[in-house]
Amino acid sequence: MTLYHRTTIAEARSIAKHGFVDHEWDFGLHDAQTGEEVTVPGVLLTDRPLGPEEGFDGDAVLEVNLDVPEEDLSPFELEGMLWDTRVWVAPSEWVAEHASVRIAAVDPRTSGFYDTHNSEPETPEFG
C-alpha cells in the first residue's frame, strides 16, 4: 500500500536517511469535557499527496510504501478529517517497521536553479 507525507525538503532528506519521528498533530479538536486541545502523536500519512492549498505546507512529498494489508492501518485512521482523502496518524516506530520511504516529488521552485520571473528552471552558468 502506498501512502504520502508532505514535509520540507530538509526534513524529507532526514526522514529518508534516518526514518520518521513522531510529531504532535493538531487538528483543531478540543476535549468535550475539559475543553483542552487534543493532539495526535505520530506520522501523518494520506492516500494522496496533499498540497499547501489544503493546509499542508512543505516542498517535498514522500512516498511511503507499507508492507501490510490495509486493515492493519485501521487503528490509525482518522475518519472524516478530509472529505476526499483518507488520513492516518501512525506511530513512527510502527511505520519504520513496516515501510520503505522515498522522496517522490520536490517543488522545483524551491530547488536550486529556478527563475521566479518566468517560472522555469534556469540553466546555471559555471566557470
Give the contacts of 36 (CB within 8 A, at least 6 positions apart). Answer: 30
Supply the pLDDT for residue 111. 58
CA atoms within 13 A on the CB side of 76: 19
Model confidence at 67, pLDDT cuts 50, 70, 90, reads: very high
User: Rounded to two decimals, what is the model's pTM?
Assistant: 0.79
Judged by average pLDDT, the poorest of 18-27, 72-81, 114-123 is 114-123
